[in-house]
Amino acid sequence: MSLKIDQDHSRFRAIVRGKIRQNLRRYISQGELIGRKGKELVSIPIPQIDIPRFIYGDKQRGGVGQGKGDVGDPVGGQEQDGDDGQGQAGQDAGDHVVEVDVTLDELADILGEELELPAIENKGKNRIVSAKDRYTGIRRVGPDSLKHFKRTYKEALRRAVASGIYDPKDPIIVPQHEDRRFRSWKEDVEPVANAVIIYMMDVSGSMGDEQKEIVRIESFWIDTWLRRQYQGLESRYIIHDAVAREVDRDTFFRTRESGGTMISSAYKLCGQLIDQHYPSSEWNIYPFHFSDGDNWSMDDTLSCIELLKTDILTRVNMFAYGQVESPYGSGQFVKDLREHFTEDERVITSEIRDRDAIVGSIKEFLGKGK
C-alpha cells in the first residue's frame, strides 16, 4: 500500500543522500561498514536534520529529573520518547541520531557519482549471450499444455454472441476448434557479463595490521563498486609470502605470516586460476594486488613483469597494483612496475599512504572504466 508519507519520506532520503555524499570520505576511511557486509543493507548513522531556531545553548541549561542519586552523580539516558511527538517538558535536546539504511547498490551509486567513476566498459557483453523464453504472446496453434483457457473461452463467447446462439438464461459456451488459443513465447536475448576479482595480498612479515586494514577497506569498496556493475561477481583470494595459496575471504584478511616475499608466486597462481576457471572470452577479470612493495629479489621482480606481460595482461580487463606504505617495506616494486609499463593502460598502480588516501586510490583504480 502506498502511503501519503512516502513522498515526504523520499525527499527526506534525498536530503540524507546529500549528507552521505558530504561525509563519504569519512565513512570510507572508517571502514565501519564492512562488518555488516553480510547483509544487503548498511546502516549509516546520520544526525537528524534539525531546523535551526533561536534556542538556548545546551550546556548552561540543565534540567530537572526524578530519582535516586547524590549531587555530582551523572544523569543517565538521553532522549525519552513521548507518545505524540509534540513538545516535551523538562527535557533538554539530546542529540538525535537517525540510522539510515542504505542498500549497498545505492551506496555504490553514491560512491560512483562522488568519485566520478565511469560505468565500466563491458568486455564480454557483445560476445556472450543467453537466450531466455518468455511467454508473452498468443497464437492459434500449439500443444494442449499451453492452451489459454480464458482467451479460448472469450473467443467462444464472442462467436456465440455474434452468431446469436448465446442464451443468457442458459449461458453454456462450447468452444470449438477455431476458438482455441495458445500461449506463445518470445525469445529474449540477454547479454551476459561475468566478472571475477582476484585479490592478491602480500602477507609477509612487513605487512602489519594497519596495512591489512587499509587493504580490507579498499577491497571492500572496490568489491562494492564492481558488484554494482556486474551481477554475480565472483571473488577469489590469494595470499602469498614466499609461496602463494588460495584462501577464503576470512583468512585473506586475517592471516599474518612471516617470511620472505616472492610476488611471482602469487602471479603464477593467478594465471593458473584464470586458466582453469575463467576463460577470458567469457569473463571480465580484475586482478588486484596489494603489497608493501618489498620483493625478495630483483630477479623475482623481473619474472613478475614477465608473467604479467605474457600470461596475465593478455587476458584481463586491467591489472591493479596497490602499494600500502609500511615502515618496513622498501616500496621498490611500484617503481619497477611503472618503469616497465609506462605505456600500458591496462596496468594501474596506486600508492596508499594511509586511510585517508583510500578514496583517491579507489579513484585511480576505477576511474578509467576498464
Partner 1 sequence: MPISPNQADLPRYLLVEQEKIEAIGRRYGLDFFPVVFQMLSYDQMNEIAAYGGFPNRYPHWRFGMEYERLSKSYEYGLSKIYEMVINNNPSYAYLLEGNSLTDQKLVMCHVLGHVDFFKNNFSFRSTDLDAGEPITDPVRKRGGDYDPNRRWIDKMANHGSAVRRIVDRYGIARVEQFVDTCLSLENLVDPWSRFVRRRREEIVEEEPTAVEVPRLRSKDYMEEFINPEEYIEEQKKKIEEAREKKKGRHPSSREQDVLLFLIENAPLERWERALLSIVRDEAYYFAPQMETKIMNEGWASYWHSKMMTNDVCDWTEIVDYAENNAGVMVTSGGRLNPYKLGVQLYRSIEDRWNRGQFGPEWEDCNDLDQKRHWDLRLGLGQQKIFEVRALYNDVTFIDEFLTEDFALEHQLFSFGWSNRNERFEIDSREFKNVKERLLSQLTNFGNPFIYVEDANFENRGELLLVHDHRGVDLRNDYANETLAALVRIWHRPVNLVTLSDGKKNLLRFDGKEHSSRADAP
Binding site residues, partner 1, CB under 8 A: 1, 3-5, 7-13, 15, 48-78, 80-92, 96, 98-100
Q: Which is nearer to partner 1, 50 or 275 (CB)?
A: 50
Give the whole-angstrom CA distance, residue 198 versus residue 120.
17
Q: At its nearest, how many Å lie between partner 1 and the CB of residue 2?
A: 9
Phi, psi of 191 (to 5 degrees): -70, 140
Q: At its nearest, how many Å lie between partner 1 and the CB of residue 41?
A: 12
Indicate the SS3 state at residue 58. coil
Task: Give yes or no for a contact between 298 and 137, defined as CB atoms under 8 angstroms apart.
Answer: no
Q: Which is nearer to partner 1, 88 or 314 (CB)?
A: 88
Q: At its nearest, how many Å lie between partner 1 and the CB of residue 27?
A: 19
Q: Which is nearer to partner 1, 82 or 191 (CB)?
A: 82
Q: At its nearest, how many Å lie between partner 1 and the CB of residue 220?
A: 25
Q: Measure Cα distances from 159 to 84, 139, 153 in Å.
A: 63, 17, 10
Give the whole-angstrom CA distance, residue 206 versus residue 260.
9
Degrees to nearest 5, angle at CA 282 with 116 and 199: 55
Q: At its nearest, how many Å lie between partner 1 and the CB of residue 51?
A: 5
Q: At its nearest, how many Å lie between partner 1 and the CB of residue 93?
A: 9
Q: At its nearest, how many Å lie between partner 1 and the CB of residue 19?
A: 12
Q: Measure Cα distances from 172 to 15, 132, 157 in Å.
A: 61, 39, 9
Single-letter code of the amino acid located at 321: Y
Q: Concatenated DSSP letters for 158-174?
A: HHHHHHT---TTS----
Give the whole-angstrom CA distance, residue 290 versus residue 222.
13
Q: Which is nearer to partner 1, 90 or 168 (CB)?
A: 90
Three cell numbers written together for 369: 572504466
Q: Which is nearer to partner 1, 86 or 276 (CB)?
A: 86
Give the whole-angstrom CA distance, residue 295 versus residue 242.
9
Give the whole-angstrom CA distance, residue 119 versus residue 228.
10
Q: Which is nearer to partner 1, 51 or 141 (CB)?
A: 51
Any idea what DSSP says for residue 312? I
Q: Which is nearer to partner 1, 84 or 187 (CB)?
A: 84
Task: Give yes or no for a contact between 142 and 206, defined as CB atoms under 8 angstroms apart.
Answer: no
Q: Which is nearer to partner 1, 35 or 62 (CB)?
A: 62
Q: At its nearest, how many Å lie between partner 1 and the CB of residue 103?
A: 15
Q: Which is nearer to partner 1, 91 or 255 (CB)?
A: 91
Q: Measure Cα distances from 99 to 16, 84, 96, 202, 249 in Å.
A: 11, 21, 10, 36, 28
Q: At its nearest, how many Å lie between partner 1 and the CB of residue 113?
A: 19
The angle, 0 to 180 degrees and rounded to 10, between the axes of the packed helices 104-115 and 5-30 is: 70
